[in-house]
Homo-oligomer: A and B are copies of this chain.
Amino acid sequence: MGRTSDAKERLIDTAVVLIRARSYTSVSVDDICKTAGVRKGSFYHFFPSKRDLALAVVDSWWESMQVDVLDPAFQGDVPPLERIQRMFDRAVTLHSKAQQKTGQFQGCPLGNLALEVSSQDEVMREKLDHTFQQFSAYIENALKMGVSDGSIPPNLNVRETAQSLLSYFYGIIMMAKTANDSRVMKDLSSRALQLVSAPLA
C-alpha cells in the first residue's frame, strides 16, 4: 500500500515538474514514467490517460497554492488590502525561488494549461475555470471584509474587482515568463492594488 501510494504521488509530482518546464503536449507518459521511476503498467493503474494525470496535477498545484500562498496570505492579522498584496508578494517569492532553482521562470501550471489546453479539452477547461473561480473567491472575500470594515469603498464591485486582480496576477506571470525574469513579476505586482477602486468615468 505504501509503495503504490508513493508511486501515485511520484507520478503527480513528476508531471508537475515536467509539464511546468515544458508543456502538457510535449511531455509523454513515457517521459513521466521514466523520470518518476514508475512502470507504465502502474501509471495506467492510477490514471486511465495522461489527461487524467493532468487533472490530478491541477488539484495538486491548487492545493499547494492554497497551503503556500493563499491561506497564509489571507490570514486576518493585517487589513484586507494588505492580505491581497501579501498574496502577490508570496507568489513572487515562490516564483523567484523556483527560477533560482531551475534557471527559468516557468510560471504557474494552471495558467500554462489554461492557454495550452482550454480550447482542446472541455473537461480540463471547466476544471481550470472552476479553480480560477475558487482563487477569485479568496480575493473577493477579502474585498468584502474590507467593505465591511470600511477600508474599501462600499460601492466597489467586489466580484469583478476580484476577477480583475486574478487576471492581473496571471498577466504579470505571463510577462515574467516571456522575459524569463521574476523581477518583472515583482515590479508589476506592486501595482496590483490600483485595481481596487471604482472604474474611471
A→B interface (CB under 8 Å): 20-23, 25-26, 81, 104-107, 111-112, 114-120, 125, 128-129, 132, 160-161, 163-164, 166-172, 174-175, 177-180, 184, 187-188, 190-191, 193-197, 199-200
Q: Are B195 and A167 in contact (CB-based, < 8 A)?
A: no
What are 19 A-B pairs with beta-carbon distances under 8 A?
Answer: A23-B25, A26-B120, A104-B119, A111-B115, A112-B115, A114-B174, A115-B115, A115-B174, A115-B177, A119-B177, A160-B187, A163-B175, A164-B168, A166-B175, A167-B175, A170-B174, A171-B171, A191-B195, A195-B195
Residue numbers in B under 8 Å from A196 (CB-CB): 200
Residue numbers in B under 8 Å from A118 (CB-CB): 107, 177-178, 180
Residue numbers in B under 8 Å from A132 (CB-CB): 175, 178
Q: Are A178 and B128 in contact (CB-based, < 8 A)?
A: yes
In the complex with contacts A170-B171, A171-B169, A193-B188 CB distance below 8 A: no
Give the complex CA separation of A115 and B106 in angstroms.
Answer: 8
Give the complex CA separation of A115 and B111 in angstroms.
Answer: 8
Q: Are B200 and A188 in contact (CB-based, < 8 A)?
A: no
Residue numbers in B under 8 Å from A200 (CB-CB): 81, 193-194, 196
